[in-house]
């Protein structure tokens, strides 16, 4: 999905954020890894308008 958005909008800033939760399930950990990998792949290809926010760093984490 990231690539499709980037291809159509090469100059917009894209912020990718993981879930705001400290205790992640295994499925949520996998999802977070996909999000971070997407960000790292974008950076490695030279994308300078993509940003990653780790949900745990927001200070407002919701554990259920």
Domain locations in the chain? 2-7+17-56
Tell me the β-bridge partners of 50: 14
| pTM for this predicted structure | 0.80
pLDDT of residue 56: 77
For the stretch 12-64, pLDDT in tens is: 999 999 888 777 889 988 999 999 999 999 999 999 999 999 887 776 655 55
* Cβ burial 22-46 (10 Å sphere, 16+ → b, else e): eebeeeeeeebeebeebbeebeeee
**Is residue 32 within 8 Å of 18, Cβ to Cβ?**
yes
Give the residue among 23, 30, 27 at the shortest CA–CA distance from 61.
23
Structure tokens at 16: 């990718």
């Amino acid at each position: 999905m990231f690539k499709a958005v980037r291809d159509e909008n090469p100059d917009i800033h894209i912020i990718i954020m993981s879930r705001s939760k400290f205790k992640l399930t295994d499925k949520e950990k996998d999802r977070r890894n996909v999000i971070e990998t997407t960000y790292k792949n974008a950076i490695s290809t030279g994308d300078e308008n993509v940003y990653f926010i780790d949900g745990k760093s927001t200070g407002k984490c919701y554990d259920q």
